[in-house]
Structures are given as C-alpha cells and as structure tokens.
Amino acid sequence: MFIGISIFIILMIMGGIIAFLGDKIGSKVGKRRLTLFGLRPRYTSVIVTIVSGILISALTIAVMAVLNENVRVALFGMQKLQEEMSELNNKIKLKNQELIESKEKLDTKTKEYENVEKKSKEISYELARVDSQRIHMENELVAVQQAYDEAKHGIDLSAKEIEELESTKNQLNKNIEKLNKEKELLLGNITAIREGTVIFRAGQVITEAVIDEKTSTGNTIDTLENILGQVNNALKERMRIKDEKLQLVRIPKDSFTHAVSQIADSDNKKLVRVVAAGNLILGEPTVVDFEVYDNKLIFNEGQTIYSSGLEKYKDINSYELKVIRFLKDLNKFAAKKGVLPDPITGNIGQLEGSELLRVIQEVKDCGGNCKLYVIAKTDIYTSGPLIIEVRVERTR
C-alpha cells in the first residue's frame, strides 16, 4: 500500500510540474508571439499544450511500467498472456474430458466386479454343497468297504451278499468320481471368474509365533514387524517376485496397535497367529490380521489326557467309525480345555496313519470290549497341536 501511495504522489508531482512548465512555455510563446513550423502564435501555443499533455501521459506510463510488473505485462505481454491462458483452458478441457472417461470406465469396471463377485459366491455355495455330498459319499464308502472286507473274510456270508456289497461299492465309487468331477469343474469356474488362485482362505492361519512375557512395547513392535516381513518374503518367493522392496502383506493400523497393546508388558507368554482377513488371491495384496492368545500349558508330557470306553458308541457298527468318533470327542475335549483348533478344519491334531491302523486293529482284536486312553507325548500348550499316543485296554 505504501508503494502505491508513493507512486500516486510521484505521478501527481510530476504531472503538476510538467503542466506548470507547459503553461509557462505556452504563455511565453503567446506573449512573444513565437511561431513553430511557420504556424500562427495561437496554434503554436496549442501545440505546446498538446506536447505537455503527451509528456505527462508518456512519463506516467513509463513510471508505472518501471515500478509495476503488472503494468509492463499489460502493455507489452498481453498477447502472450492471452495465448498462455487459451492453452491452459484447452488443457483443462482435455483433462476434464479424460476425467469423465476415467469415471465411466471405473463405473463399468465396478459393475463388472460386482457381477463377478455375485457369480463367485453362487459357485462357492454350489461347491460347498457338492463337497459336502462328496464327503458324505466317502463316509458311506468307508462303511461299505469295511462291511465288504468283513463279508469277504467271513465264511458265513453268502456270495450273493458280497456281490451286492461290491455293486453298492462300485456305485458309490461312480458317484464319488462324478462329484469329484463336478468339484473340479466348479473350482475351475471360480478360478476363471476370479482370474487368480486362492492361496489362503479367510481365517486360515498363515503363520504363528510365541512372544515371551514382559516384552517391551518397542520389542513387541519389532517382533510383529519381523513376523509380517517373514510372511511377506514367503509370499514373494511363492509368487516368484524378485522386487525386494515390494510389500504384499497389509494389516489395518488399528489391528496392529491392538495386538501391540495385548502383548506388550504382559505377564504371560502370548501366542500370535497371523490369519488371512479374507480369501487371498494370487497376485493381489494380502490383507491379514493378528489373533493373540495366552500360550498356557494345557497338558503335561506323559499325562493321560482323555479316556473312554467304546460301549458309548454302541449305535455304530463299524470299529473304524467308533475309533474316529472317539478321536472327534477327544478333539472337542481338548478344545474346551484351551487348545486352539485350526480355524478352517477345526482339527487340533491327528494320528499318523500307521498309529490309527494299529489302534483300529487292537480294538478289533478286543471285539470292541475295550477302553481307550490318550497320553500326551510332549508338553501341549495353547498353540497345540495334540501329539499323542493311544493305548487300548481290554475291559473283558
């Protein structure tokens, strides 16, 4: 503001001086009757006045141009400024058009994605139904297979019964093959729709670790970040990605902060599970979450965890199915005691194939008149799994 006032005062003073001088010169020209270019004194006086006005205007413009950049631009760069404005307006129109086209493409892709998600859910539901039927058929096949074996080795059974059992077995095998083909077809449809491979299902445990008690907040943060880093490296190796800086694993900030608050300075050791927040597709960012539990000692090494007589399963005819039912009851018992099951399968542990066959054979040798004892082979914590030995004791 000070500069503007100063310019205004300078222009007033300068204009006044020039007007004064012009008036004096005009007066002298009139009094002395001087002529310019052979004109009459009266016209010469008019010319002096005009020249004075021109000088006032010229000096005013010159001072303003020297002291103010905007005036210089208005006088000498207006055309260039207009050209630049016109070019910028054209660019703005072009960008607006590109923005409109991008929004239209986004709307189209969003609708396509919603349709794909809908189809994926429908096929997933159908897959679950077919898989359930397949499992049911497999269970029936196991029962028929056992009955078939007993019939084949039993001298009191007739050839006709064996033939009927074989026919039933073959029919069930055909049904299972048919269901397996349907399952493969549905899996292929899901793959085609999602254009990717599911590497982890929602809720599936990707990795887990145990953190000692009384761990500081800083060490807790470092440990959790290291766990996520290991998962990230494993995923990159699985996807054959060589970019060392690429971060595939993502976790909500609130989830990370909550996990730190649960672990830091805790009086107990903590089991930390990294679980998939949703179905993780090959090639897409991996969103995970932390699940934190107290890692307590549930069963001691050598402890008898569970025992039961097989008479409680008298409604089941097959010895194999009785043993399987016993193991399922063991699974439920251990879960109630605090051993964490697998979120997907619900299992806590399993017997090796040879161990399971041994137990079934001993149960058969006892004619089902026995009691089963489950002994822990190692200390078993919240994290599991159940590493056990099953002993069979004849009751009569």
Same domain? 314 vs 338: yes
**Structural domain includes residue 152:** yes
Q: Among the three residues 278, 295, 312, which one is the final residue of a domain in this structure? A: 295
Same domain? 217 vs 281: yes
Beta-bridge partners for 370: 394
Whether 39 and 47 have beta carbons less than 8 Å apart is answered as yes
Contacts by residues 170-179 (CB-CB < 8 Å, ≥ 24 positions apart): 172/137, 172/140, 172/141, 172/144, 173/141, 175/137, 176/134, 176/137, 176/138, 176/141, 179/130, 179/133, 179/134, 179/137
**Structural domain includes residue 85:** no
Whether 177 and 258 have beta carbons less than 8 Å apart is answered as no
Same domain? 240 vs 175: no
Instruction: Count how many domains the chain has.
Output: 4
Same domain? 128 vs 155: yes
Q: Among the three residues 167, 198, 229, which one is the final residue of a domain in this structure? A: 198
* pLDDT number for residue 4: 60
Give the number of other CB atoms < 10 A from CB of residue 264. 17
Same domain? 142 vs 222: no
**Structural domain includes residue 107:** no
The 3-state secondary structure of the chain, one letter per residue: CHHHHHHHHHHHHHHHHHHHHHHHHHHHHHHHCCCCCCCCHHHHHHHHHHHHHHHHHHHHHHHHHHHCHHHHHHHHCHHHHHHHHHHHHHHHHHHHHHHHHHHHHHHHHHHHHHHHHHHHHHHHHHHHHHHHHHHHHHHHHHHHHHHHHHHHHCCCCCHHHHHHHHHHHHHHHHHHHHHHHHHHHHHHHHHHHHCCCEEECCCCEEEEEEECCCCCHHHHHHHHHHHHHHHHHHHHHHHCCCCCCCCCEECCHHHHHHHHHHHCCCCCCEEEEEEECCCEECCCCEEEEEEEEECCEEECCCCEEEEEEHHHHCCCCCHHHHHHHHHHHHHHHHHHHCCCCCCCCCCCCCCCHHHHHHHHHHHHHCCCCEEEEEEECCCEECCCCCCEEEEEEECC
Same domain? 282 vs 324: no
Same domain? 291 vs 212: yes
User: Domain limits at 378?
Assistant: 299-394
**Structural domain includes residue 104:** no
- Residues in Cβ contact with 364 at an 8 Å cutoff, skipping those fewer than 6 apart: 319
* pLDDT number for residue 207: 85
Same domain? 154 vs 134: yes
* pLDDT number for residue 300: 92
* pLDDT number for residue 189: 46
Same domain? 194 vs 127: yes
**Structural domain includes residue 81:** no
| Nearest to 288, CA basis, from 194, 208, 203, 383 | 203
Whether 393 and 370 have beta carbons less than 8 Å apart is answered as yes
Q: Among the three residues 269, 295, 321, which one is the final residue of a domain in this structure? A: 295
Please give the structure tokens belonging to residue 347.
């299992």
Same domain? 205 vs 188: no
Write out the chain's pLDDT in tens, 396 residues.
566 676 667 667 776 776 666 666 666 666 666 566 666 666 666 776 777 777 777 777 777 767 666 666 666 666 777 777 888 888 888 888 888 888 888 888 888 888 888 887 888 777 777 777 777 777 777 777 877 777 666 655 556 666 766 766 777 677 677 667 656 655 654 554 455 566 777 778 888 888 888 889 889 899 888 888 888 888 888 777 777 777 878 888 888 889 888 888 888 888 888 888 877 776 677 888 888 888 888 899 999 999 988 888 888 888 888 888 888 888 889 888 888 887 777 777 777 778 888 888 888 888 888 999 999 888 888 887 888 888 998 887
**Structural domain includes residue 154:** yes
**Structural domain includes residue 84:** no
Same domain? 239 vs 275: yes
Same domain? 306 vs 386: yes
* pLDDT number for residue 103: 86
**Structural domain includes residue 102:** no
